[in-house]
Copies of this chain bind each other. A is one copy, B any other.
Amino acid sequence: MHKNVVILGAGNVAYHITRALLENTINVVQIFNRTLDKAQNFSEDYNINYTDKISEIVKADIYIICTSDKAISEISYYVPFEDCLVVHTSGSIPLSALKGKYRKGIFYPLQTFSRKRALEYDKIPFFIEAENKEDENILLSLAKRISDEAYVVDSEKRLQIHMSGVWVNNFTNHLFYIANEICRNQDISFEILKPLIKETFEKINDDITPYDAQTGPAKRNDNIVIQKHLSILESDSNLYQLYSLLTNSILKTYHDKL
Protein backbone atom coordinates (compact mmCIF):
# COMPACT_ATOMS: atom_id res chain seq x y z
CA MET A 1 0.00 0.00 0.00
CA HIS A 2 1.48 3.32 -1.07
CA LYS A 3 -0.77 5.91 0.52
CA ASN A 4 0.18 9.35 1.72
CA VAL A 5 -1.32 10.37 5.03
CA VAL A 6 -1.98 13.78 6.59
CA ILE A 7 -2.59 13.96 10.34
CA LEU A 8 -5.00 16.65 11.57
CA GLY A 9 -4.43 17.42 15.24
CA ALA A 10 -1.37 17.31 17.48
CA GLY A 11 -2.56 15.79 20.75
CA ASN A 12 -1.82 12.39 22.26
CA VAL A 13 -3.79 10.40 19.68
CA ALA A 14 -2.14 12.30 16.82
CA TYR A 15 1.28 11.73 18.37
CA HIS A 16 0.82 7.97 18.73
CA ILE A 17 -0.97 7.41 15.39
CA THR A 18 1.82 9.30 13.62
CA ARG A 19 4.43 7.29 15.42
CA ALA A 20 2.66 4.00 14.70
CA LEU A 21 2.35 4.87 10.99
CA LEU A 22 5.97 5.92 10.66
CA GLU A 23 7.24 2.85 12.50
CA ASN A 24 5.42 0.80 9.89
CA THR A 25 6.82 2.84 7.00
CA ILE A 26 3.57 4.59 6.09
CA ASN A 27 4.25 7.99 4.56
CA VAL A 28 3.00 10.79 6.83
CA VAL A 29 3.41 13.87 4.66
CA GLN A 30 2.07 16.61 6.92
CA ILE A 31 0.73 17.46 10.36
CA PHE A 32 -1.87 20.19 10.57
CA ASN A 33 -2.83 21.77 13.85
CA ARG A 34 -4.56 25.04 14.68
CA THR A 35 -1.83 25.79 17.22
CA LEU A 36 1.50 25.72 15.48
CA ASP A 37 3.79 25.02 18.42
CA LYS A 38 2.18 21.67 19.24
CA ALA A 39 2.43 20.46 15.64
CA GLN A 40 5.95 21.83 15.39
CA ASN A 41 6.87 20.19 18.64
CA PHE A 42 6.21 16.67 17.52
CA SER A 43 6.59 16.89 13.75
CA GLU A 44 10.17 17.97 14.35
CA ASP A 45 10.79 14.64 16.08
CA TYR A 46 10.15 13.04 12.72
CA ASN A 47 11.08 15.79 10.27
CA ILE A 48 7.53 16.01 8.88
CA ASN A 49 6.10 19.12 7.24
CA TYR A 50 3.75 20.94 9.61
CA THR A 51 1.35 23.85 9.31
CA ASP A 52 -1.37 25.81 11.10
CA LYS A 53 -2.71 27.29 7.83
CA ILE A 54 -5.75 25.65 6.24
CA SER A 55 -4.64 26.95 2.86
CA GLU A 56 -1.37 25.01 3.18
CA ILE A 57 -2.94 21.58 3.75
CA VAL A 58 -1.41 19.35 1.11
CA LYS A 59 -3.07 16.77 -1.12
CA ALA A 60 -2.91 13.21 0.24
CA ASP A 61 -4.74 9.89 0.00
CA ILE A 62 -5.90 9.70 3.60
CA TYR A 63 -6.55 12.40 6.21
CA ILE A 64 -6.75 11.20 9.81
CA ILE A 65 -8.53 13.61 12.17
CA CYS A 66 -7.09 13.01 15.65
CA THR A 67 -8.72 15.89 17.50
CA SER A 68 -11.17 15.96 20.37
CA ASP A 69 -14.73 14.85 19.54
CA LYS A 70 -15.93 18.44 19.68
CA ALA A 71 -13.48 19.65 17.00
CA ILE A 72 -14.04 16.85 14.45
CA SER A 73 -16.80 18.54 12.44
CA GLU A 74 -15.06 21.88 12.23
CA ILE A 75 -11.71 20.37 11.27
CA SER A 76 -13.43 18.15 8.72
CA TYR A 77 -14.43 21.28 6.74
CA TYR A 78 -10.78 22.21 6.31
CA VAL A 79 -9.92 19.40 3.89
CA PRO A 80 -10.45 21.14 0.53
CA PHE A 81 -10.04 18.06 -1.67
CA GLU A 82 -12.66 15.62 -2.91
CA ASP A 83 -10.61 12.74 -4.25
CA CYS A 84 -9.43 11.51 -0.89
CA LEU A 85 -10.52 9.58 2.21
CA VAL A 86 -11.07 11.50 5.47
CA VAL A 87 -11.42 9.54 8.72
CA HIS A 88 -11.72 10.38 12.38
CA THR A 89 -10.47 8.39 15.36
CA SER A 90 -13.31 8.78 17.84
CA GLY A 91 -15.21 5.93 19.49
CA SER A 92 -18.44 7.83 19.90
CA ILE A 93 -18.87 10.13 16.87
CA PRO A 94 -20.76 8.97 13.75
CA LEU A 95 -19.46 9.09 10.20
CA SER A 96 -21.89 11.92 9.46
CA ALA A 97 -19.85 14.30 11.62
CA LEU A 98 -17.44 14.52 8.68
CA LYS A 99 -18.69 17.40 6.54
CA GLY A 100 -16.67 17.57 3.31
CA LYS A 101 -17.34 16.19 -0.17
CA TYR A 102 -14.59 13.56 0.13
CA ARG A 103 -15.07 9.86 0.97
CA LYS A 104 -15.54 9.28 4.72
CA GLY A 105 -14.48 6.71 7.26
CA ILE A 106 -13.65 5.84 10.87
CA PHE A 107 -10.29 4.67 12.16
CA TYR A 108 -10.85 4.11 15.90
CA PRO A 109 -8.01 2.71 18.05
CA LEU A 110 -9.18 1.25 21.39
CA GLN A 111 -6.48 2.40 23.80
CA THR A 112 -5.76 5.21 26.24
CA PHE A 113 -2.99 7.41 24.86
CA SER A 114 -0.57 9.35 27.03
CA ARG A 115 2.12 11.39 25.36
CA LYS A 116 5.05 10.05 27.30
CA ARG A 117 4.13 6.37 27.41
CA ALA A 118 5.33 3.80 24.91
CA LEU A 119 2.61 1.50 23.61
CA GLU A 120 2.66 -1.81 21.75
CA TYR A 121 0.92 -0.58 18.61
CA ASP A 122 0.59 -4.07 17.15
CA LYS A 123 -1.71 -5.00 20.08
CA ILE A 124 -4.12 -2.07 19.74
CA PRO A 125 -7.45 -3.12 18.20
CA PHE A 126 -8.58 -0.80 15.38
CA PHE A 127 -12.26 -0.46 14.50
CA ILE A 128 -12.99 0.57 10.94
CA GLU A 129 -16.04 2.00 9.23
CA ALA A 130 -16.40 3.32 5.68
CA GLU A 131 -19.07 4.16 3.11
CA ASN A 132 -18.11 1.37 0.73
CA LYS A 133 -16.18 -1.90 0.58
CA GLU A 134 -13.23 -0.37 -1.22
CA ASP A 135 -12.59 2.25 1.45
CA GLU A 136 -13.21 -0.34 4.15
CA ASN A 137 -10.39 -2.38 2.62
CA ILE A 138 -8.09 0.64 2.40
CA LEU A 139 -8.64 1.35 6.11
CA LEU A 140 -8.33 -2.32 7.07
CA SER A 141 -5.01 -2.49 5.21
CA LEU A 142 -3.82 0.66 6.92
CA ALA A 143 -4.84 -0.65 10.36
CA LYS A 144 -3.22 -4.02 9.67
CA ARG A 145 0.04 -2.30 8.85
CA ILE A 146 0.03 -1.06 12.46
CA SER A 147 -1.75 -3.78 14.38
CA ASP A 148 -2.66 -7.47 14.44
CA GLU A 149 -6.23 -6.54 15.38
CA ALA A 150 -8.46 -4.72 12.89
CA TYR A 151 -12.23 -5.06 12.61
CA VAL A 152 -15.07 -3.54 10.63
CA VAL A 153 -17.90 -2.41 12.94
CA ASP A 154 -20.82 -0.01 12.57
CA SER A 155 -21.22 3.16 14.66
CA GLU A 156 -23.59 1.54 17.15
CA LYS A 157 -21.20 -1.30 17.94
CA ARG A 158 -18.30 1.16 18.07
CA LEU A 159 -20.15 3.18 20.72
CA GLN A 160 -20.68 -0.01 22.77
CA ILE A 161 -16.96 -0.83 22.46
CA HIS A 162 -16.08 2.72 23.47
CA MET A 163 -18.35 2.44 26.51
CA SER A 164 -16.88 -0.93 27.55
CA GLY A 165 -13.50 0.84 27.52
CA VAL A 166 -14.90 3.40 29.96
CA TRP A 167 -15.77 0.58 32.37
CA VAL A 168 -12.41 -1.20 32.24
CA ASN A 169 -10.20 1.87 32.03
CA ASN A 170 -11.81 5.10 33.29
CA PHE A 171 -13.98 3.58 36.01
CA THR A 172 -11.33 1.08 37.11
CA ASN A 173 -8.82 3.88 37.44
CA HIS A 174 -11.32 5.85 39.52
CA LEU A 175 -11.66 2.89 41.91
CA PHE A 176 -7.87 3.01 42.28
CA TYR A 177 -8.19 6.71 43.06
CA ILE A 178 -10.83 6.00 45.73
CA ALA A 179 -8.60 3.35 47.33
CA ASN A 180 -5.70 5.78 47.18
CA GLU A 181 -7.79 8.35 49.08
CA ILE A 182 -8.81 5.77 51.71
CA CYS A 183 -5.13 4.89 52.22
CA ARG A 184 -4.12 8.56 52.37
CA ASN A 185 -6.72 9.24 55.06
CA GLN A 186 -5.24 6.37 57.07
CA ASP A 187 -1.61 7.43 56.52
CA ILE A 188 -1.02 4.19 54.64
CA SER A 189 1.00 4.09 51.45
CA PHE A 190 -0.94 3.23 48.28
CA GLU A 191 2.07 1.01 47.50
CA ILE A 192 0.71 -1.74 49.76
CA LEU A 193 -2.19 -2.20 47.31
CA LYS A 194 -0.02 -2.68 44.24
CA PRO A 195 0.60 -6.45 44.60
CA LEU A 196 -3.17 -6.93 44.92
CA ILE A 197 -3.84 -4.70 41.90
CA LYS A 198 -1.22 -6.69 40.00
CA GLU A 199 -2.87 -10.02 40.85
CA THR A 200 -6.31 -8.60 39.90
CA PHE A 201 -4.93 -7.72 36.49
CA GLU A 202 -2.90 -10.89 36.03
CA LYS A 203 -5.84 -13.20 36.67
CA ILE A 204 -7.65 -11.55 33.75
CA ASN A 205 -4.51 -11.52 31.62
CA ASP A 206 -4.08 -15.27 32.30
CA ASP A 207 -7.51 -15.89 30.73
CA ILE A 208 -9.48 -16.45 33.91
CA THR A 209 -12.89 -14.92 33.11
CA PRO A 210 -13.95 -11.96 35.28
CA TYR A 211 -16.91 -14.08 36.38
CA ASP A 212 -14.60 -16.81 37.72
CA ALA A 213 -11.98 -14.37 39.08
CA GLN A 214 -14.46 -12.69 41.44
CA THR A 215 -13.73 -12.93 45.18
CA GLY A 216 -14.62 -10.85 48.24
CA PRO A 217 -17.45 -10.28 50.72
CA ALA A 218 -20.17 -9.66 48.12
CA LYS A 219 -19.20 -12.76 46.15
CA ARG A 220 -19.32 -14.79 49.41
CA ASN A 221 -22.59 -13.07 50.39
CA ASP A 222 -20.83 -12.08 53.63
CA ASN A 223 -23.18 -9.47 55.01
CA ILE A 224 -21.22 -8.99 58.25
CA VAL A 225 -18.14 -7.71 56.42
CA ILE A 226 -20.24 -5.66 53.99
CA GLN A 227 -21.95 -3.92 56.94
CA LYS A 228 -18.59 -3.23 58.61
CA HIS A 229 -17.28 -1.60 55.45
CA LEU A 230 -20.45 0.44 55.00
CA SER A 231 -20.23 1.61 58.61
CA ILE A 232 -16.79 3.16 58.01
CA LEU A 233 -18.10 4.86 54.85
CA GLU A 234 -21.13 6.43 56.50
CA SER A 235 -19.62 9.91 56.57
CA ASP A 236 -19.09 9.95 52.78
CA SER A 237 -22.39 9.57 50.95
CA ASN A 238 -20.70 9.28 47.54
CA LEU A 239 -18.50 6.34 48.60
CA TYR A 240 -21.32 4.80 50.64
CA GLN A 241 -23.61 4.78 47.60
CA LEU A 242 -20.91 3.51 45.27
CA TYR A 243 -19.94 0.70 47.66
CA SER A 244 -23.61 -0.27 48.05
CA LEU A 245 -24.35 -0.24 44.34
CA LEU A 246 -21.22 -2.22 43.37
CA THR A 247 -21.88 -4.72 46.17
CA ASN A 248 -25.52 -5.12 45.12
CA SER A 249 -24.44 -5.63 41.53
CA ILE A 250 -22.09 -8.46 42.60
CA LEU A 251 -24.78 -9.97 44.87
CA LYS A 252 -27.20 -9.87 41.95
CA THR A 253 -24.64 -11.55 39.67
CA TYR A 254 -23.80 -14.42 42.03
CA HIS A 255 -26.77 -14.70 44.39
CA ASP A 256 -29.56 -13.37 42.19
CA LYS A 257 -30.78 -10.94 44.79
CA LEU A 258 -30.81 -7.26 45.69
Interface-facing stretch out of A30-38, A55-63, A106-114, A132-140:
A106-114
Provide the A228-254 mask, 1 if CB < 8 A to any CB of B, else 0.
Answer: 110011000010011101101110110
Provide the A163-203 mask, 1 if CB < 8 A to any CB of B, else 0.
Answer: 11111111111111111101101101010111111111101
Asked whether any CB of chain B lies closer than 8 Å to the CB of A149, the reply is yes
- Residue from the set A110, A193, A206, A232 with the largest chain B CB neighbour count within 10 Å: A193
Asked whether any CB of chain B lies closer than 8 Å to the CB of A120, the reply is yes
Interface positions, chain A 123-176, Cβ under 8 Å from B, are 123-125, 149, 151, 153, 157, 159-176
Q: Are B238 and A249 in contact (CB under 8 A)?
A: yes
Complexed CA–CA distance, A201 and B188 (Å): 20
Asked whether any CB of chain B lies closer than 8 Å to the CB of A80, the reply is no
With contacts A194-B204, A210-B177 taken as known, whether A171 is within 8 angstroms of B114 at the C-beta atoms is no
Could you tell me the distance in whole angstroms from the C-beta of A120 to the nearest C-beta in chain B? 7
Nearest-CB residue, chain B, relative to A169: B200
Complexed CA–CA distance, A225 and B198 (Å): 30
Q: Are A193 and B110 in contact (CB under 8 A)?
A: yes
Complexed CA–CA distance, A249 and B175 (Å): 10
Q: Are A197 and B204 in contact (CB under 8 A)?
A: yes
Q: Are B182 and A164 in contact (CB under 8 A)?
A: yes
Main secondary structure on A side of the interface with B: helix
Asked whether any CB of chain B lies closer than 8 Å to the CB of A218, the reply is yes
Asked whether any CB of chain B lies closer than 8 Å to the CB of A96, the reply is no
Q: Are B205 and A194 in contact (CB under 8 A)?
A: yes
Q: Are B92 and A123 in contact (CB under 8 A)?
A: no
Complexed CA–CA distance, A165 and B197 (Å): 8
Could you tell me the distance in whole angstroms from the C-beta of A152 to the nearest C-beta in chain B? 12
Q: Are B166 and A229 in contact (CB under 8 A)?
A: yes
Q: Are B194 and A198 in contact (CB under 8 A)?
A: no
- Residue from the set A125, A195, A205 with the largest chain B CB neighbour count within 10 Å: A195
List of B residues within 8 angstroms of A165 by Cβ: 179, 193, 196
Give 24 CB contacts A-B under 8 Å: A92-B224, A110-B192, A111-B199, A159-B229, A161-B192, A162-B229, A163-B229, A164-B179, A164-B183, A164-B188, A164-B193, A168-B179, A169-B215, A170-B214, A170-B217, A170-B219, A174-B246, A174-B249, A175-B175, A177-B214, A201-B201, A238-B248, A242-B245, A242-B249
